[in-house]
Amino acid sequence: MSELALLLVRIGFVAVLWIFIFSLLSVIRADIYGRRVVRTVAEQSGSRVANKVEGPGNPDLASEREMESGGPSHLYVITGVGAGSKIPLDKRELFVGRAPSCELVVTDEFASSQHAKVVHIGGDWVVQDLGSTNGTYVDGVRIQTPEVLRMNIPVRVGKTTFELRP
C-alpha cells in the first residue's frame, strides 16, 4: 500500500473511534437532560378539543366531581420514596423538598432542599417552583410561573410524583 493510503487508514481508524465515543456522549446527554418530547398531531388537537369542552359553559366530569366533594383534601404521593402516603391539605402553604422541615420530604438527589410549594390562594391550590435546579413538572411540562393545580394532575419533583385528591 502507498504511504498516503496508510496514513489515511491510520487517521481513519482513530477518527471512527472518536466518532463512536462522541455518539455515546450524545446518548448520555439524552440520559441526563431527557429526550425532546415530540407530541403527535393527534394528541395536540385532542387536547385543544378537550380545552374547548372545558370552557365555562360546559364543565367536564372532573370539575363536576370537584364541586360535589368540595375541593381536594390531601396530596397523594404516587411514586417516589413515600409512595402511597397522604399529606392532608390543612395548612395554607405546603413545602416540597429534601429539607426535613418540608411537609412532603422527598429523598433523592434530583430534588433541591426547598424545591417547590403548594399554596392555597382564593379557593385554588397553586404550585410554585422555588428556583430548584431540576425543575417542577406539572402534567409532564416544566413550569416557569406558579400554576393552578387541578385534581388528579400529576406533579413531579425529582423522582417523586404526587397529585391532589379529594
Partner 1 sequence: MSNMSLTQALPRLINSVPRSRSMEAVLLFWVAGMHAFQLAQIQLSATDNLDEQILLYWTPLFLASFVFHMVLRFKAKAADSLLLPLATLLNGLGISMIYRLDLAEAARGNEQLLGMRQVWLTLFAMAVAALVLWVLKNHMTLKRFTYIAMAAGILTLLLPMLPVIGAEINGARLWIRLGELTFQPGEIAKLLLVIFFAGYLTKHRDSLSLIGKKIWGVRIPRARDLGPLLLVWVASLGVLVLQRDLGTSLLYFGIFLALLYVATGRGFYAAIGIGMIITGGLVASQLLSYVGNRFDSWLNPFVQENYTGVGGSYQLVQGLFGMAHGGILGAGLGGGYPQLVPLAANDFIFAAVAEELGLVGVFAVLSIYLLITYRGLRIAISHRDDFSRLLAAGLSFVIALQVFIVVGGVLRLVPLTGLTTPFLAAGGSSLLANWLVIALLLRISDSANKQVIQ
List residues binding partner 1 (CB under 8 A).
1, 6-7, 9-11, 13-14, 16-18, 20-21, 24, 27-28, 31, 60-62, 78-79, 81, 108-109, 139-140, 151-154, 159, 161, 163
Q: Give 54 or 130: the residue with its C-beta nearer to partner 1.
A: 54
Q: Kindly tell me which of 130 and 134 has the beta carbon lying closer to partner 1.
A: 134
Q: How far is the CB of 34 from partner 1 (least distance, A)?
A: 11
CB of 72 to partner 1, least distance (A): 13
CA distance 14 to 16: 5
Shortest distance in whole angstroms from residue 27 CB to partner 1: 7
Shortest distance, CB of residue 54 to partner 1, whole angstroms?
11
Q: Exposed (0-12), middle (13-18) or buried (19+): which is 160, by Cβ within 10 Å? A: buried
Q: CB-wise, 78 or 130, nearer to partner 1? A: 78
Q: Which CB sits closer to partner 1, 65 or 91? A: 65
**Rounded Cα distance, 92 and 70, in Å:** 16
In the complex, the smallest distance separating the C-beta of residue 39 from partner 1, rounded to whole angstroms, is 11
In the chain, how many H helices and how many E strands?
3, 11
Nearer to partner 1, 2 or 92 (CB): 2
Ramachandran sector of residue 80 (left: φ over 0; alpha: ψ -120 to 50; beta: rest): left
Summarize the chain as % helix, strand, coil (round to 5): 30, 30, 40
Contact partners, residue 33, CB within 8 Å, separation at least 6? none
What is the C-alpha separation between 14 and 25, in angstroms, rounded? 17
